[in-house]
């Protein structure tokens, strides 16, 4: 009852029309601004709000009566090894309930077992989605074979599930029975133990001295490379030099060596063969003057022609 008025006003003034008329009613309270009376809009607005409040109160009373009728329905609950009949509103989280044929579910339930084979049941969800066709649900595999009251009384477990949501046909949860580990946990632990045992047993496939042996071999190989006579260059008196022994084995993967040319000549020796200028081919067989002119033009950036030459 105390929260009705704030909730009602909040819902009413979420409508733009009520906010507009409320603003007009406030402006009409200023005599210098309003050409009309102070209560021209305020009284009709209050009347509309009063009618809406009465309607909401009547509907709220009906909802409370419907809720009371539903909450006072009876259901069987397993308590202290016996089935007791209690009201729906007295149910608690974790209670084991018995739902009979053609009856309503008192709450969101997890199907543990059923009198049908393989723990199957047929439910109708017309109150939720309007569909009247029966849907098949099957009990949890670990509890689907439990049918006796004494077995349910001895059952202890913990259910971890996702929070309530709008998905009617999806549910994610894990039922863990106390003092009993899940098969998946046992399999994962056994796999981890077996893997560690396998690694320990077969570690000798890689000898512990392998790394030291490889380092020694690389070091000696670098010495042989430095002493290799086939890698000695007589003209410059330069022998091969292995600057690091860690890359010796990389030499066996080299097939091509590319050298970047910066634009300068390795040797300042050039021999003119031929060239084409405006579609005309000039070769060394032409007149000596033409050949010399073309050769100089090709080699040099700027050519100054002496006027005395012909």
Joined together, the tokens standing for residue 8 give: 């009602």
Kindly report the backbone phi and psi dihedral angles of residue 17, in degrees, each rounded to the nearest multiple of 5, phi listed first: -65, -45
Structure confidence at residue 301 as a pLDDT band (50, 70, 90): low
For position 56, what pLDDT does the model report?
Answer: 86
Domain membership flag for residue 21:
no
More confident residue, 206 or 304: 206
Residue 253, in any domain of the structure: yes
Q: Order of strands, edge to edge, in the sheet holding 97-98? A: 82-87, 74-79, 97-98
For the chain, percent of residues with pLDDT exceeding 90: 0
For residues 160 and 211, membership in a common domain is answered with: no
Q: Kindly state whether residue 192 falls inside one of the protein's structural domains.
A: no
Let me know whether 150 and 97 are in one domain.
yes
The answer on pLDDT for 264 being more than 60 is no
Tell me what the mean pLDDT of segment 150-179 comes to: 81
How far apart CA 201 and CA 193 sit, in angstroms, is 12
Residue 268 pLDDT > 80, yes or no? no
Q: Is the pLDDT of residue 29 over 70?
A: yes
**Are 77 and 155 members of one domain?**
yes
The residue ranking higher by pLDDT, 33 or 174, is 174
- What's the CA gap between 121 and 57, in Å, rounded? 41
Tell me which range, 91-100, 162-171, 264-273, is most confidently predicted by mean pLDDT.
91-100
- Whole-number Å distance between alpha carbons of 49 and 18: 9
* Residue 276 covered by a domain: no
Angle between helices 16-27 and 42-71 (to 10 degrees): 140
pLDDT tier at 52, thresholds 50, 70, 90: confident
Burial class (CB in 10 A: 0-12, 13-18, 19+), 201: exposed
**Interval 186-242: pLDDT, tens:** 566 777 778 777 777 776 676 666 767 887 888 888 888 888 888 888 888 888 888
CATH at 127? 2.70.150.10
What residues contact 112, with CB distance under 8 A and at least 6 apart? 96, 119, 139, 140, 143, 144, 146, 152
Domain that holds residue 80: 73-164
Greatest mean pLDDT range, 123-127, 191-195, 276-280: 123-127
**Cα gap 45→82, rounded to integer Å:** 60
Does 49 map to a domain? no
In a domain, 33, yes or no: no
Residue 41 lies in a domain: no
Q: Average pLDDT, whole number, for the chain?
A: 79
154 with 225, same domain: the answer is no
Task: Quote the pLDDT of residue 309.
Answer: 47
Q: What's the mean pLDDT in 139-164?
A: 81
Domain count, the chain: 2
pLDDT value of position 27? 84
pLDDT at position 145, please? 80
Q: Provide the pLDDT for residue 177.
A: 76
For residue 220, tell me if it sits in a domain. yes
**Strand residues in 21-117 grouped as ranges (E):** 74-79, 82-87, 97-98
Which entry of 108, 179, 230, 260 is annotated as an active-site residue? 260
Residue 18, pLDDT above cutoff 80: yes
- Catalytic: 230? no
More confident residue, 143 or 71: 71
The predicted pLDDT at position 310 comes to 44
Task: Please report which confidence band the pLDDT of residue 302 belongs to, taking 50, 70 and 90 as the band edges.
Answer: low
Q: pLDDT band for 266, please (50, 70, 90 cuts).
A: low
């Amino acid at each position: 009852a105390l929260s009705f008025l704030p909730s009602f006003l909040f819902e009413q003034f979420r409508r733009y029309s009520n906010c507009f008329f409320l603003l007009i009613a406030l402006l009409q309270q200023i005599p210098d601004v309003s050409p009309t009376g102070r209560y021209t809009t305020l009284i009709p607005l209050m009347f509309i709000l009063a009618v809406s409040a009465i309607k909401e109160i009547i509907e709220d009373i009906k909802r409370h009566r419907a809720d009371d009728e539903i909450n006072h329905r009876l259901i069987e609950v397993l308590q202290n090894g016996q089935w007791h009949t209690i009201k729906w509103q007295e149910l608690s989280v974790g209670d084991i309930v018995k739902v009979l044929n053609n009856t309503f579910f008192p709450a969101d339930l997890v199907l543990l077992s059923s009198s049908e084979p393989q723990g199957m049941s047929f439910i109708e969800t017309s109150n939720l989605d309007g569909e009247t066709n029966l849907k098949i649900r099957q009990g949890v595999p670990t509890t689907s074979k439990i049918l006796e009251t004494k077995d349910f009384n001895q059952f202890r477990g913990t259910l971890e599930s996702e929070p309530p949501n709008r998905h009617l046909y999806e549910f994610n949860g894990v039922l863990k029975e106390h003092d009993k580990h899940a098969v998946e946990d046992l399999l994962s632990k056994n796999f981890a133990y077996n893997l560690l045992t396998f690694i320990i047993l077969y570690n000798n496939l890689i000898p512990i001295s392998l790394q030291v042996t490889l380092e020694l071999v690389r070091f000696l190989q670098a010495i042989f490379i430095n002493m290799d006579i086939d890698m000695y260059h007589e003209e410059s008196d330069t022998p091969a030099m292995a600057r690091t022994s860690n890359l010796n084995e990389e030499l066996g993967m080299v097939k091509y060596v590319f050298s970047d040319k910066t634009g300068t000549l390795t040797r300042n020796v050039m021999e003119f063969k031929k060239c084409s200028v405006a579609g005309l081919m000039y070769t060394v067989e032409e007149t000596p003057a033409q050949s010399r002119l073309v050769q100089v033009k090709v080699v040099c950036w700027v050519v100054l022609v002496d006027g005395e030459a012909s």
